[in-house]
Amino acid sequence: MMWLILIFIFGLIIGSFLNCVIWRLYKGESFVSGKSYCPHCRHSLGFWDLFPVLSYIFLRGKCRYCKGTISFQYPLIELITATLFSSVFIYLGSIISLGLFFWLTIISFLIVIFVFDLKYFIIPDEVIYPAIFLSIAWLLYSFFTGTISSHEMILSIFSSLGASLFFFLIWFFSKGTAMGFGDVKLALLIGLLLGFPNTIVALFLGFLLGAIIGSVMILLKKKGLKSEVPFAPFLVAGTIISFFFGSNIVSWYLSLTI
């Protein structure tokens, strides 16, 4: 329980950092150096302004200096990150390990991709390429340490290439109108992370969620048939669901067909 609480708090802190990364990537600024500032008045934020969730509550969603509205995205991302970190910790057996830190890092990358594409309709290369590189390194590490077999590694590689090729063909033949090239790279990452058959589960869930939410938005007249809709958030959601429940979903599906 003590470790779970610490992981949750750690997730809140990382969530706050991810908000900074998203904003500074969008503005073309470094997120490694420089003080945090209000996006409205650009006043440097003090120590008491940066407590995850609590600062938002105590400041009532307003900047201390200019009273500009603070987006609800900030506490929401902090809470989601903390919740996902805690869930990964429990799912992996409540053990502090290299595998835990790998998946916490990957979850962080996926959150940034989710929010950035949702808000700005693009998957930044500064995020997707390091995530792919890290996933390849982890796959090789897992193989050479005997955590996974050569068969599992080959399945992961083919899942990655197959998923990426599928999205590439959609992107190519639609000339980029049905799919962005960022989604091609994201599919490559998903295959490396999940292998077979969970990659298929993630992609199916991504398309299903996209179809459902897209239909709802059209019915509510929030979007038209030709409106641009970011697809990465649905793929990320499908990936996270598949990570936790992919095996159960596959077993359930097979029980229906056998």
Per-residue confidence (pLDDT) for residue 6, from 0 to 100: 96
Concatenated DSSP letters of the chain: -HHHHHHHHHHHHHHHHHHHHHHHHHHT--SSSS--B-TTT-PBP-GGG-STTHHHHHTTTB-TTT-PBPPTHHHHHHHHHHHHHHHHHHHTTS---HHHHHHHHHHHHHHHHHHHHHHHS---HHHHHHHHHHHHHHHHHHHHTTSS-HHHHHHHHHHHHHHHHHHHHHHHHTTTSS--HHHHHHHHHHHHHH-TTHHHHHHHHHHHHHHHHHHHHHHTTSS-TT-----HHHHHHHHHHHHHHHHHHHHHHHHHH-
pTM for the model: 0.93
Q: What is the pLDDT of residues 78-135, one digit of tens each?
A: 999 999 999 999 999 988 899 999 999 999 999 999 999 999 999 999 999 999 999 9
Per-domain boundaries in the chain: 1-96, 123-258
